[in-house]
Amino acid sequence: PQTIYLKDYSVPEYLIHEVDLNFDLGEEHTVVVARLTLQRNPQSQSPNQELTLMGEDLNLLGVELDGTALHAQQYVQTDTSLTIHQAPQDGIFVLKIENSINPKANTAFEGLYQSSTMLCTQCEAEGFRKITYFLDRPDVMSRFKTTLVADKDKYPVLLSNGNKVEQGELAGNRHWVSWEDPFAKPCYLFALVAGQLECIEDRFVTMSGREISLQIYVEAHDVDKCDHAMQSLKNAMRWDEEVYGREYDLDLYMIVAVGHFNMGAMENKGLNIFNTKFVLARPDTATDSDYEHIEGVIGHEYFHNWSGNRVTCRDWFQLSLKEGFTVFRDQQFSGDRASKAVKRIEDVNMLRARQFAEDAGPLAHPIRPEAYIEINNFYTLTVYEKGAEVVRMLHTLLGGEGFRKGCDLYFQRHDGQAVTCDDFVSAMEDANGRDLTQFRRWYSQAGTPQLNVEQHYDAESGQLELTLRQHCPDTPGQTDKPPLHIPVKIGLLNSRGQVELIKLDGRPPVEETVLELTEAEQSFALSGLAEQPTVSWLRGFSAPVIVKMQRSLEELAFLLSYDSDTFNRWEASQQLAGQVIADLIADIQQGRELTLNPVIVEAYTKLLEQQWDDLSYFSLLLALPDESYLASQMDVIDVDAIHQAREFVKKSLAERLQAHFLRLYRENHREESGQFDAGAIGRRRIKNTCLHYLSTLETGDSQSLSLRQFEGAANMTDQMASLSAIVNSRHPAKQACLEQFYRQWQDEDLVIDKWFALQASSHWPGTFAKVQQLLQHSAFDMKNPNRVRSLVGAFSQANPVHFHARDGSGYHFLADQVIALDKLNPQVASRMVTALTQWRRYDDERQQLMKAVLQRIIDTEAISTDVFETASKSLA
Ligand code: B3K
Ligand code: ZN
């Protein structure tokens, strides 16, 4: 397979100004007629006189140049291209291409495909070339006009980008609709949808007083699950006006929910296509976190209208330009909507558990990668989540106002253009008069930097010297990396836990400051300190780095009680629990008896005795670090010891603090139908945290508590939480509850996904056999990505003890599924391979087993380039 390099970028040889598309739609036979208005790109230096268009899986029916049919000697076709010899070098010309495609045979869900009874498209990154021959690259921007023709009964609704301009009836019970998008766009933002869809409608008045029609299209049985998505859309539109000054530009905004979708959602201009998972919600079918994710993803896709669509990427290496920025925007939005503290913790938790692993493993790449085989493999945690952290650091360095000025300049300067990450940073520099040359290294350097911090207090002078050292580990293809520009936000606490002001370089004293680390080693002197303060480092997780420092359990307990930074307070709870668990892991490995360190009981007791306004935040303080985070802290991951130690702490805490948990549970338990407001969410969250602890006791009382909640649950959050408690413990009603749940929800695909995922991620013995059974279940469908993720994905990514079973059964199972899935859907198959990428982190035996199945995958005949790239780079 061929590798594409950033350094090889050159401007397109031709431009396509206008695209006129005509689709005659049918499940197995769709005819596409494309009329392209082209021109040689005056900026192209290439001597090449040919025009090469990309195309895959297309059946070419005819080509015309300026109205004259081309004969077979005038062009040449390959599996991936169509080249027109002697294409016009001057002036505008029109190329008409006719081809047919088979949406039903398209199980890769890229291009035009069928999902249940509808037809829909997914073009990003390079799916448009599976619809027709085109210059399928983001720096070719065209105005699209699209006409859809189809049977009236099968496809009563026909949608595409922009505004509906005309429609009519045809003989034979057929009809047509024409759409026109006034904004030039790259073809990856093209979309069409045809189907029997119901629509819910609302309107939004923009800040300049324009009325926008908002429409959400779903299948008939889902119309009662769209209200939250609609409300989220309106919230997002208002928020982007208020916070970024960005107004929506078309008169119509459409969202369509489809059941078969490779990822979360897609920001096609004026016609977003969503995985049903990120649209549909009713209190009895969706959990609070589903509600939160829906709001986040609806916001994300909406925000792309500016950060992505109005200003797009020059090439796919610049993906983080739109994705990192847009994730940062959706994080800000969600934080503003609910609890900033909780949102930040959730985001960092995910980043550290998953992106840090990616950045430390064989697939590590900079947020702006330099090479790829298959671009779909680069929609990664690094490009998205680390990319968002890089944008957040700009926000921290420039301040809210400076950042906004930079954004305004960026949008104004580049509206309607396809640009680079460098252009984004330049706008930030120019708007603020700052030099960000060194900061740019974050775009090209992979790996998570490590920060060593030291402090030296001199009582006589009242000075505290802080010394910071940074080091970025080697990653594939990168060694000896120069230092980065790292914003380190700090605060000080005196011995009574109060704020101690920071006096640095004769500036006025402040409660908090950002140290700008630019050297490999750098010192900062804080003055006027009557006693040695405690430093609260990296507040709000101000940079995506690992801080290396030793803190005693007492110091952590002190920070947990007094740090005014909500993030660091939680961080103290994680580190405290993390250290306690780490000690127990060592005890398990040495065969010593386990006893719980009383420090954690004291710390928890203190937390439980306090009054909390933000119950969601409170429940995060009571949550033990995830097994994946604990794993990341170990030199050689010992899945069994991690699990055993963590369970031991959970159960011991439950035993000691039973009365507290029970009281909190009772105080916050209501059998309410579920409302999406911060108060109710917080109550459910803390209550279910308590239930989770109590269920580890496996007493008659604790069992009837979860069973009662399961039976009385009037919302999905409570129902899932209780079922999870039952499934992950020795509960006599386990099988009955699982069956009851299935019967109750068998017609709701998204709920059945939860049913699969819950069983696949259970740590209870016998899970692997259960997973194999579920693979044969009539509701399992390898063709549905959500179902695959909920069974194969959940087992391999969220069930360390069983996936990493010593006999290698989990690995073989995954390889079998990857190989089977690859024939249908390479993109999703490739994602599944990443569960094996971290093989170097395990013991020798497991390493051998994981390597062997990776090799088996690579050796499989006709394996896709997607899976090949992920598996072979994982082994390298
Ligand atoms: N831009 C799309 C992702 C497309 C993924 C293609 N493999 C969704 C998003 O990030 O908003
Ligand atoms: Zn995005």
DSSP state of 582: H
- Say whether domain 202-310 belongs to CATH 3.30.2010.30: yes
pLDDT value at residue 304 = 99
- pLDDT tens digit string along 389-423? 999 999 999 999 999 999 999 999 999 999 999 99
CA distances from 703 to 533, 651, 653, 698, 736 (A): 47, 14, 17, 6, 14
Spatial contact of 595 and 656, defined as CB atoms under 8 Å apart: no
Q: Which atom of ligand 1 is nearest to the CA of 262?
A: 7
pLDDT value at residue 675 = 84
Provide the whole-model pTM.
Answer: 0.99
For the chain, residues classed under CATH 2.60.40.1730 are 1-196
pLDDT value at residue 769 = 98
For the chain, residues classed under CATH 1.25.50.10 are 746-876
CATH of domain 746-876: 1.25.50.10
Alpha-helix residue ranges (DSSP H) falling in 267-386: 288-303, 319-337, 340-350, 356-360, 381
CA distances from 161 to 248, 251, 266, 845 (A): 14, 11, 13, 53
123: which 2 tokens?
A: 């073009």
For the chain, residues classed under CATH 1.10.390.10 are 343-444
pLDDT value at residue 673 = 83
Exposed, middle or buried, 23 (CB in 10 Å: 0-12/13-18/19+)? buried
Please give the Cα distance from 295 to 659 (Å, whole number).
36
Best mutation site among 121, 123, 267 for ligand 1 pocket (most ligand atoms within 8 Å of CB): 267
pLDDT value at residue 157 = 98
Q: How far does the centroid of ligand 1 lie from the alpha carbon of residue 379, in Å?
A: 7
Q: How far does the centroid of ligand 1 lie from the alpha carbon of residue 716, in Å?
A: 28
For the chain, residues classed under CATH 3.30.2010.30 are 202-310
Query: Nearest ligand, CA of residue 124?
Result: 1
Smallest Cα–Cα separation from 717: which of 760, 745, 680, 764? 680
Question: Which CATH entry fits the domain spanning 343-444: 1.10.390.10, 1.20.1630.10, 3.20.20.70, 3.90.1170.50?
Answer: 1.10.390.10
Q: How far does the centroid of ligand 2 lie from the alpha carbon of residue 238, in Å?
A: 19
Please give the CATH superfamily to which domain 1-196 belongs.
tricorn interacting facor f3 domain (2.60.40.1730)
- pLDDT tens digit string along 763-815? 999 999 999 999 999 999 999 999 999 999 999 999 999 999 999 999 999 99
Residues of the chain with pLDDT under 50: none
Q: How far does the centroid of ligand 1 lie from the alpha carbon of residue 753, in Å?
A: 22
Query: What are the DSSP calls for 82-146, one per residue?
Result: EEETT---SSEEEEEEEEEE-GGG-TT-SEEEEETTEEEEE-TTTTGGGTS-B--STT-EEEEEE
- Residues in the ligand 1 pocket, defined by CB under 6 Å: 124-125, 263, 265-267, 300-301, 304, 323, 376, 379
Q: Which atom of ligand 1 is nearest to the CA of 263?
A: 5
Residues taking part in catalysis = 301
